């Protein structure tokens, strides 16, 4: 397929995917820099090490993962709803705002060594004897651009769903208001409608494809996340800008560190325990039936599970505060442990429905996308149970802030759960977008083998170090934990090889000429 035959959305989806992979490449480089530092602690200054650690997750989540998700959703939502994107002008705007916002955040680390970490625990980001004042301003401005952009993107996705514009020839579907959607997202239409009415008319969310339901419900968490983190950024700017301009410094202790931490984690956790799980579930529900050519198993239950996911995600943030003694015990137990464990039920049921769909469709063809989907379920199963182990009032005493948390939980979820799912989307979308298969199946398999083996080696080494007492966010200058970190390094190298296999295969499939034409278009088309 020639470049000029590609539609506007298709071109932009490919641009988003390429940018996402670019950000993943940067994230991997930063990860490897930190891996090397754990073996040779003096190769980076401490300021440099912690500034890398600060921007590494921002690039990974808001650069790589969000760019991939935005590109995929801008193609899939109109495709599934048989409509057009509500505001096409927002597609390029979202692309540039997201890229620029994330690059500005990266600059805060590169040029000013801003190193308050992504956790931004109050009052460290405004403690300017330790943290760069200019860096705090740059970081927050970059983050603000990114978060405002996410709100614009979510608006466009909701508007696409609510104000559906039928494509040529398609029947116009019934329109609902935003309030109707919001009520239905939380299942309130089931509660407030009379039984007879429910029987006569389907609940609104039952009329939508499961993927759209997952995106819509997950996007509620996305909005909460963006709003809450924006407020934290504004707070930091209120302290940072006057100080930078020489108008004196405000006393950071006027802000209660515990209330701030609760508010911050309530918002931030909407990603890790909210939209990631719902978007992942939605993607499994979309891709698996497509790939195995069978109806999704237990679709009715699946819709309810997504609703449960949304409700649970609103009440789990306190597991990040299990080590904070001033936090009330009831919050530790109810929010931190009991409600959090509900996620095992929702993730478990989601994976059960997905695996049953594949099982009932046997024999199945192991396409690249299906292979990576299976890996992603494997990753979520491993990472989720590790997470629940640490989200426990008793066990957190010996696990909090150890390498266990970031290794066997965090990086398993991100690199063995979320990433293979994003790779599966790429492998599934390419035939759909370009009408051609991946150039080399051997490279697909090498990508899978090196990536999975690398992640497993790395996270097991990190997890083991954590159980032996190695802390995250800490540089050890002695000989302690060097064996585990050397093994983790081998895993890291394997991940890099896996990523290069994907990149080479993608370039060969798209062809360099097409990529150049898509990245630097000669003329604008809005077909």
Partner 1 sequence: MYVTDSIRIFYTIYFISVCLFFTWFIRKIRKSDVSQIETDEKKSGIDKRELRFFLILISIIILAHIITISNMVPWQRWRLWSKPIVVKTYNIEVSDYNFKFPEEPITFEKNQFVEFVLNSTDVTYGFGVFRKDGTLVFQIQVLPGYKNRFVWNFSQSGYYDVRSTEYSGPKHSDMVVYDAIKVL
Least distance CB 361 / partner 1 (angstroms): 8
Vertex 490 angle, CA 488 and 493, to 5°: 110
| Comparison of 82 and 295: residue with beta carbon closer to partner 1 | 295
| Comparison of 474 and 527: residue with beta carbon closer to partner 1 | 474
Q: Do the beta carbons of residue 108 and residue 139 sit within 8 Å?
A: yes
Least distance CB 426 / partner 1 (angstroms): 22
| Comparison of 224 and 391: residue with beta carbon closer to partner 1 | 391
| Comparison of 307 and 429: residue with beta carbon closer to partner 1 | 307
- What is the spatial distance between Cα 152 and Cα 415, in angstroms, rounded to a whole number? 27
Q: Do the beta carbons of residue 282 and residue 274 sit within 8 Å?
A: no
Q: 3-state SS string over 208-264?
A: CCHHHHHHHHHHHHHHHHHHHHHHHHHHHHHHHHHHHCCCCCCCHHHCCHHHHHHHH
- What is the spatial distance between Cα 350 and Cα 235, in angstroms, rounded to a whole number? 38
| Comparison of 11 and 320: residue with beta carbon closer to partner 1 | 320
- What is the spatial distance between Cα 22 and Cα 14, in angstroms, rounded to a whole number? 12
| Comparison of 234 and 398: residue with beta carbon closer to partner 1 | 398
Query: What spatial distance separates the first Cα and last Cα of the chain, rounded to whole Å?
Result: 16
User: Which residues touch 386 (CB under 8 Å, ≥6 apart)?
Assistant: 404, 408, 409, 412, 463
Least distance CB 294 / partner 1 (angstroms): 8
> Phi, psi at residue 520, to the nearest 5°?
-120, 80
| Comparison of 180 and 206: residue with beta carbon closer to partner 1 | 206
User: Which residues touch 6 (CB under 8 Å, ≥6 apart)?
Assistant: 14, 433, 434, 518
Vertex 102 angle, CA 96 and 104, to 5°: 100
- What is the spatial distance between Cα 128 and Cα 59, in angstroms, rounded to a whole number? 24
Which residue carries 């904070």 as its tokens? 324
Least distance CB 404 / partner 1 (angstroms): 8
| Comparison of 87 and 468: residue with beta carbon closer to partner 1 | 468
Least distance CB 182 / partner 1 (angstroms): 26
Least distance CB 520 / partner 1 (angstroms): 41
- What is the spatial distance between Cα 337 and Cα 319, in angstroms, rounded to a whole number? 6
Least distance CB 130 / partner 1 (angstroms): 4
| Comparison of 11 and 261: residue with beta carbon closer to partner 1 | 261
Least distance CB 360 / partner 1 (angstroms): 6
| Comparison of 436 and 473: residue with beta carbon closer to partner 1 | 473
- Which of 421, 502, 413, 415 is CA-nearest to residue 454? 415
Least distance CB 63 / partner 1 (angstroms): 22
Q: Name the helix (H) or strand (E) containing 426.
A: helix 419-434
Q: Where are the alpha helices (DSSP H) in 257-333?
A: 257-270, 276-292, 299-313, 329-330
| Comparison of 22 and 298: residue with beta carbon closer to partner 1 | 298
Token pair belonging to 454: 């690398």
- What is the spatial distance between Cα 323 and Cα 295, in angstroms, rounded to a whole number? 45
Query: How far is residue 67 from each of residues 17, 63, 494, measured CA to CA in Å?
Result: 7, 6, 24
Least distance CB 470 / partner 1 (angstroms): 8
Least distance CB 123 / partner 1 (angstroms): 6
Least distance CB 476 / partner 1 (angstroms): 7
| Comparison of 64 and 297: residue with beta carbon closer to partner 1 | 297
- What is the spatial distance between Cα 421 and Cα 370, in angstroms, rounded to a whole number? 9
- What is the spatial distance between Cα 335 and Cα 344, in angstroms, rounded to a whole number? 14
């Amino acid at each position: 397929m020639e470049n000029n035959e590609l539609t506007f959305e298709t071109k932009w989806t490919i641009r988003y995917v390429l940018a996402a992979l670019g950000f993943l490449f940067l994230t991997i480089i930063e990860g490897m820099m930190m891996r090397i530092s754990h073996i040779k602690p003096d190769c980076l200054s401490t300021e440099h090490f912690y500034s890398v650690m600060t921007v590494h997750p921002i690039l990974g989540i808001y650069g790589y993962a969000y760019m991939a998700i935005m590109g995929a959703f801008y193609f899939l939502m109109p495709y599934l709803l048989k409509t057009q994107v509500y505001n096409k002008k927002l597609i390029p705007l979202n692309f540039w705002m997201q890229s620029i916002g994330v690059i500005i955040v990266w600059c805060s680390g590169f040029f000013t060594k801003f190193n308050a970490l992504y956790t931004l625990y109050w009052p460290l980001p405004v403690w300017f004897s330790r943290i760069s004042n200019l860096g705090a301003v740059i970081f927050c401005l970059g983050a603000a651009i990114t978060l405002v952009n996410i709100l614009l993107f979510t608006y466009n996705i909701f508007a696409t769903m609510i104000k559906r514009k039928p494509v040529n020839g398609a029947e116009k579907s019934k329109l609902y208001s935003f309030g109707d959607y919001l009520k239905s997202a939380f299942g309130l239409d089931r509660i407030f409608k009379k039984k007879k009415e429910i029987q006569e008319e389907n609940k609104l969310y039952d009329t939508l494809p499961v993927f759209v339901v997952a995106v819509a419900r997950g996007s509620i968490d996305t909005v909460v996340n963006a709003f809450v983190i924006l407020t934290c950024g504004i707070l930091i700017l209120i302290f940072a800008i006057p100080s930078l301009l020489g108008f004196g410094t405000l006393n950071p202790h006027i802000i209660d560190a515990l209330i701030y931490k609760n508010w911050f984690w309530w918002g931030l956790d909407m990603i890790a325990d909210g939209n990631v799980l719902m978007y992942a579930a939605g993607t499994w529900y979309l891709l698996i039936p497509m790939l195995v050519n069978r109806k999704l198993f237990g679709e009715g239950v699946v819709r309810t599970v997504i609703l449960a996911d949304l409700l649970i995600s609103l009440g789990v943030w306190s597991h990040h505060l299990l080590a904070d003694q001033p936090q009330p015990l009831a919050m530790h137990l109810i929010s931190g442990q009991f409600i959090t464990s509900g996620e095992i039920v929702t993730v478990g049921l989601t994976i059960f429905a997905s695996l049953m769909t594949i099982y009932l469709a046997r024999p199945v063809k192991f396409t690249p996308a299906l292979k990576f989907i299976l890996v992603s379920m494997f990753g979520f199963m491993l990472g989720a149970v590790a997470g629940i182990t640490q989200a426990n009032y008793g066990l957190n005493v010996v696990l909090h802030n150890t390498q266990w948390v970031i290794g066997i939980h965090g990086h398993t979820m991100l690199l063995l759960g979320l990433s293979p799912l994003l790779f599966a989307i790429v492998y599934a979308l390419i035939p759909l977008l370009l009408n051609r298969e991946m150039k080399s199946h051997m490279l697909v398999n090498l990508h899978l083998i090196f990536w999975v083996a690398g992640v497993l080696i790395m996270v097991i080494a990190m997890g083991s170090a954590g159980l032996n007492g190695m802390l995250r966010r800490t540089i050890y200058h002695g000989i302690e934990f060097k064996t585990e970190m050397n093994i983790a390094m081998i895993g890291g190298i394997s991940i890099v090889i896996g990523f290069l296999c994907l990149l080479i295969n993608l370039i060969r499939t798209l062809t360099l000429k097409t990529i150049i034409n898509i990245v630097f278009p000669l003329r604008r088309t809005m077909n």
